[in-house]
Amino acid sequence: DGGITQSPKYLFRKEGQNVTLSCEQNLNHDAMYWYRQDPGQGLRLIYYSQIVNDFQKGDIAEGYSVSREKKESFPLTVTSAQKNPTAFYLCASSIVLADSTDTQYFGPGTRLTVL
Amino acid sequence: RKEVEQDPGPFNVPEGATVAFNCTYSNSASQSFFWYRQDCRKEPKLLMSVYSSGNEDGRFTAQLNRASQYISLLIRDSKLSDSATYLCVVHMEYGNKLVFGAGTILRVKS
C-alpha cells in the first residue's frame, strides 16, 4: 500500500532529551513537510524539503532539526532547545513543493509528551 | 489578524440537517483553497478543493467569494459520520505554502 508512515505513534520525553520522529513515504513524492498541531490552533509549518539533501525552515523551526538523505525519509529531531515540545506532530508529502493545485497527504502523526 | 480564520464551533446539529461553515482569509492574492477533514486524534485528509466557480461533491458544496475573501462549506443531509473538525486551508503565494485554519468542530447527533 502506498502512503506515509510515522513512528512512534506516542512518544514521551524527559526534559533535556533530544528525540527523533520518523517519517517515511513510498508515494515517490519530492516534497515533504513537518507540521505541529496544538489544541485550538491551526497546523504550523516547522520544516519542509523539496528535494533530497535540501530543506528549508518553516514558521517555527527553532528547537527542531531535520535531514533529507533519502527521498523516502524526512526525520524530525526535537531538541532540548524546544521550550514547549508537547504537541501532535504531522508529516506530509506532495508531488512538488506546495504547488497551488497539489494535494498534501498526511501521515497518522506522532503525539509527543514531555514529562 | 490571522491569515486564515474559522469559527471554532462546535456546531451541534441533528442528523439530516444542513450546516454551513465560513472561513475568511487575509491575503487577497491567494489562489487556491481547500477543505480538509480531521477526525479526533487523526491526521487531516483532503475533503475537497475550492474552485472559483464553486464545486459540489455529493452532499458537500464549497464556494469561494473573492470579493469578501471567504470560502464556505455546505453539508446537506448531515450524517453521524460527518462529525469531525473541518480545516480551511489557503495556499499563500508569498512563501509558496499552505496556511491552515484552526478548524471548525461539527457534531452530528441522532
Q: Which pLDDT tens digit goes with each residue over A17-52?
A: 999 999 999 999 999 999 999 988 889 999 999 899
The reply to whether B28 touches chain A by the CB within 8 Å rule is no
- Contacting residues for B70 by C-beta, under 8 A, at least 6 apart: B22, B23, B24, B25
Task: Give the pLDDT confidence score for residue B11 in this predicted structure.
Answer: 97
Task: Give the pLDDT confidence score for residue A96 in this predicted structure.
Answer: 76
Q: For chain B, positions 73-102, list CB contacts with chain A under 8 A.
A: 87, 91, 93, 96-102
Using 50 as the pLDDT threshold, list the residues of chain B that sit under it: none
Contact at CB, B91 and A103, closer than 8 angstroms: no
Chain A interface, Cβ < 8 Å to B: 35, 40-45, 48, 58, 88, 90, 97-98, 100-101, 103-109, 111
The reply to whether B31 touches chain A by the CB within 8 Å rule is yes
**From A90, which residue of chain B is nearest by alpha-carbon distance?**
B43
Task: Give the pLDDT confidence score for residue A98 in this predicted structure.
Answer: 58
